[in-house]
Every structure is written in C-alpha cells, then in structure tokens.
Amino acid sequence: MMVFASSMFVAGFAFSFVRGWYLSLLLLVGYPVLGFASFLMASALTKGFIEYTKAYQKSAGFSEQAISAMKVVHSYGQEKLEILNYTKYLVIAKNVGIRTNMNQAIGIASVFSVIFWFYAYSFYVGSVLILSPTIKNKGVQYTGGDVVSCLFGILLGAFYIAGALPNLKAIIEARIAGYNIYSTIDRNPEIIID
C-alpha cells in the first residue's frame, strides 16, 4: 500500500506539472492548509475515541462489579442505588460521546470546507490564467481542461500521500520493534554464565 500511495502521489504531481507547471505551483499553496485541517480532524477523532472508551469502560466496570456481587447487593437491598450509580456513569459516557461526535463533525466539516476552498481557489486562479494573455502554458493559452487536470492531479496527490501516512507509521513502528529486538540479541550479558 505504501508503494501504491507513493507512486500515485508522484504520478498525480507529475501529471499536474506536465499539464501546467505554473498553475500547479500556484495550487501548492493549499497543501499546508489541507494538511493542517486533516491533522486537526485526525487528532479530534483520536482524542474523542480515547475519551469515549475510557468513559464507557468506567460504566462497564461498575456494572460488572455490581453483577459479580449480585447476592450482596440484593441482600442489602441496594438495587436502586446501584442503578443510580450505573446511570450516573452512563450519563457521563453519553455526554462524552456527544462532545466527541461534535468534535468529529467539526473536524470533518473543516476538512471539507478546506477542500471546497481549494476548488474555489483553483478555479479562480485558473480563470485568471485563462484570461491572461501574458501567462502561457508551453506557448499556448491555458484552457479549462488544463485547470481541471492540474486541480485533480494536485488534489489526488495530496489524498494519496495522506493515505500513505498510516502505512508509514506501521513501518516506523516495525523498525523500532526490530531495533529493540536486535539490540537485545546483540547485547553482551552482564552475568557471565561460564
């Protein structure tokens, strides 16, 4: 997958720069903004999932404890108290879930708004280049096809390089694990067995 994503990134950029190098350079302005919005969305998703899992684990742990001590709870008549405590933890989990979903929605909305901003910016710059008689693409006036080709070449290159990042993370984690294993194998023990 890493090879596929990297090759699609290079192919998208190559196609875009062949179709119109000047327009492609102007479109690269949107890369940092798109990357920042994607980072915010990914961090909101990760943080929300962790918070939601912790909150739900508390309620699940409490219910497991109450069920395992069911005879004691019943003999002391504490069913209503246990239900109230469990409901309290579920309300906390529900509120965390609502906040998490709100943050996820804001993150996804920010990424889509940046993508739509990128479309608008691309078409605006493309229209300026089409109407400008002095800026030419290989001696020929820019056309609408050049603008759309450059837009999608740059945009798909961005999507595929973003798709390669989880695979790159897995490769880095594997290298760290391999380093730890080989350092353990290669170290000289302090205790002499002989």
Which of 2-16, 99-113, 129-143, 149-163 has the least mean pLDDT? 129-143
DSSP 8-state class, residue 35: H
C-alpha span between 135 and 157 (Å, rounded):
25
pLDDT digits (tens, 9 = 90+) for 26-64: 888 888 888 888 888 878 877 887 888 788 777 777 777
| pLDDT of 66 | 72
Distance separating alpha carbons of residues 28 and 192, to the nearest angstrom: 60
111 CB neighbour count, 10 Å cutoff: 18
How many angstroms separate the CA atoms of 62 and 53, rounded? 14
Residue 194 has pLDDT above 70, yes or no: no
Residue 159: name the closest of 14, 34, 27 by CA: 34
Res. 4 pLDDT band, cuts 50 70 90: confident
pLDDT one-digit tens code per residue, 92-147 = 888 888 988 898 888 889 888 988 999 999 999 999 988 887 777 777 888 888 89
Task: Write out pLDDT tens, residues 71-88.
Answer: 777 777 777 877 787 788
Q: What is the pLDDT of residue 148?
A: 92
Give the H or E element holding residue 141. Answer: strand 140-141
User: Where do the domains of the chain lie, and which CATH numbers do they carry?
Assistant: 2-164 (1.20.1560.10)
- For the chain, give the longest Cα–Cα distance: 91
Tell me the backbone φ, ψ of residue 193, rounded to 5 degrees.
Answer: -80, -30
pLDDT at 116: 92
